[in-house]
Amino acid sequence: MRTYIRIHGSRADEITGEVVREQPLTIYVNEEKFLTLLCSPLDLEALVVGYLWMEKVIGGLDDVRHVEVSPVDGRAEVTLAGPVTLPTERILTSGCGGGITFRIDHRLFPRLSSGLRVRPDALALRMKDLFAAAVHYKVSRGIHGAALTDGEQLLLVAEDVGRHNAVDKIKGAALLRGIPTEDRILLSTGRISSEMLLKAARMGVPLVASRTSPTEMAVALAEQLNVTVCGYVRSDSLNLYAGNGVVLREDVAAVASDARPT
């Protein structure tokens, strides 16, 4: 908790409230320093496991012998079942605080094939569910949320100062709890950038939806990888940027078809 001054017009009040927490977490793999992430000190084991999976350091939990995370020391020790060569070509992403990824080439990701379809109203309801479940967002308003859903209910929810970290936590929690991510929907409160889109594709997620916008590069990648991208999801509207995973009424579908660029 922090004490701060809230100024509204000519009035100033002293407020005691929650300010979103952020800390560095240094990951060691087989006693070798890998990298340091800036993150929220929440669900750190899921973050570590999810990040290593996203970067193809591990292929699943069978590759992990032991994970020990110390939030106090800001250190995560990961022991794998065998030796591994860690990637070294770091790419600074457009993520909050400057995320780091080692794999951004879309050719490393297979084009998805999915029959998943969702109605706009169902997507809006699940986005509403995400905000209802984002307890830390309610307290501080300074944190991102992500969720995995089957369209009917939320399966997993994660929060972090970095929207990319929140997605890594989703995958890590899915691995730890044995929940498949393929043919699911990924929800995010933040911008869908290229690395966010590639994380979804890596997870086998054919539809990504956000409360805000995608980047042009993310939309281009979505078209190549057959991922549906929806932005600005509201109770009565959304923007469909790519894909055919959203079920539209016949009259709306006809108008949308005419409106698509040729």
Secondary structure letter of residue 195 according to DSSP:
H
For residues 224 and 228, what is the distance between their CA atoms, to the nearest angstrom? 11
Residue whose token pair is 């501080």: 140
**Quick one: tokens of 197?**
């889109």
Annotation marks residue 96 as catalytic: yes
Q: Which of 39, 96, 156, 173 is catalytic?
A: 96
Distances (CA, A) of 169 to 1, 144, 158, 173: 24, 12, 6, 6
Distance CA 162, CA 146 (A): 10
Tokens 């800001």 — which residue?
A: 74
Rounded distance, CA 121 to CA 140, Å? 28
How far, in Å, are 56, 89, 104 from residue 53 at the CA level?
5, 17, 14
d(CA 128, CA 42): 22
Handedness of CA 223, 228, 231, 237 (dihedral sign): positive
Q: What are the catalytic residues?
A: 96
